[in-house]
Amino acid sequence: MKLRHLGLTAVLSLCAAGSAFAADAVMRISHPLPPSHHIAKVVEQFAADVEKNSGGKVDVQIFGSDQAFKANQNHAAVARGQMEAAVVTNFQWGGTIPEMNVMTIPYFMSTLDKVKAFPGSEVARILDAKLEEKGVRNIAWMYVTREAIFTSANKAIVTPEDFQGLKIRGLNKLVDNGLVAAGAAPASMPGSEVYQALQTGVIDAGLTDVSAAVSRRFYEVQKFGTITPFFVAYFHMFVNPKWLDGQPEDVRKVIIDAAKKAEIDAIDATEKSAASARKELEEKGMTLVIHTPEQAEAFKNVMQKPVLDAFIESTSDGKKLIELANQL
């Protein structure tokens, strides 16, 4: 396994040259995560498993931190064969496959039981089929969060009324319907820009997952944080179908088996990361509120329906996915 740190031209030329060496196949994986991220480490373990269990037949090369392609470029790169595989978030597909937002509906799939049941479910199979229609084959759903944190510099955001008039970092166009219903004014911006926006007062409040609040140092510019099971997100790994189908049967099995193991590994890694993040945020001086079930229900009552309605209206299979997800 190789973790590359090169520019795009060097990446592609080096990989092309390297494919002639000992391994029978090269599997290049592009993703946006820094090496310290717990899902990046799950991807590294996937690579190690593939190389070991294939007996060195597959040389897995990881290009993290957007080195090879930006997150929104990964789909085209894999479909065209410029990369064999990539890892992106489910909501990265919001405009192309709106059904991929089903798990981000507020308070809808954010229990650990549903998180564990999702990979391999009929919901996942429908989404896999939609990805295949776009020229890529999904092989792993790696759960990354089921706990969001609403942050603020002035007071904790505990009740729906606390959103009134707040300029807040939104999640995506769909979920922002819920924030608007609560009286907030969501602003769209990349995660990398949120810290400065909070620091300078461009926005009043932040929304991210608990682990990201640590890695992005929100505790330096935000005093309060409310942790709540607002949405679920997955990083998922997809491959070029022609490349995968062109591998020997034993190699394909090794890759699929390692991908299924990565799904399981991600659950444990994410739960541990979230628990550690809560502790670290408090140690860094942040005052945390952990929503009670009743407080979370109050948020749900205000924010879920507008998002559900918008989801169903914007999708062809929205109602079916909602029904199936309710059975998980």
Q: What is the mean pLDDT of residues 69-74?
A: 92
More confident residue, 87 or 36: 87
pLDDT at 19 over 50: no
What share of the chain in percent tops pLDDT 90?
Answer: 84
Choose among 164, 158, 170: nearest CA to 104: 170
Q: What is the pLDDT of residues 271-280, one digit of tens each?
A: 999 999 999 9
Domains delineated in the chain: 2-144+233-273 (3.40.190.170), 148-231+275-326 (3.40.190.170)
pLDDT at 18 over 50: no
Give pLDDT, residue 22: 62
Residue 11 pLDDT grade (very low, low, confident, very high; cuts 50, 70, 90): low
Q: What is the mean pLDDT of residues 286-296?
A: 97
Taking the C-alpha atoms of residue 4 and residue 64, their distance in angstroms, rounded to an integer, is 8
Give pLDDT, residue 190: 74
In angstroms and rounded to an integer, the radius of gyration of the C-alpha atoms of the chain is 20
CA angle 223, 91, 83 (to 5 degrees): 115
pLDDT at 40 over 70: yes
Q: What is the pLDDT of residues 202-260, one digit of tens each?
A: 999 999 999 989 988 999 999 999 999 999 999 999 999 999 999 999 999 999 999 99
Burial of 197 (0-12, 13-18, 19+ CB in 10 A): middle
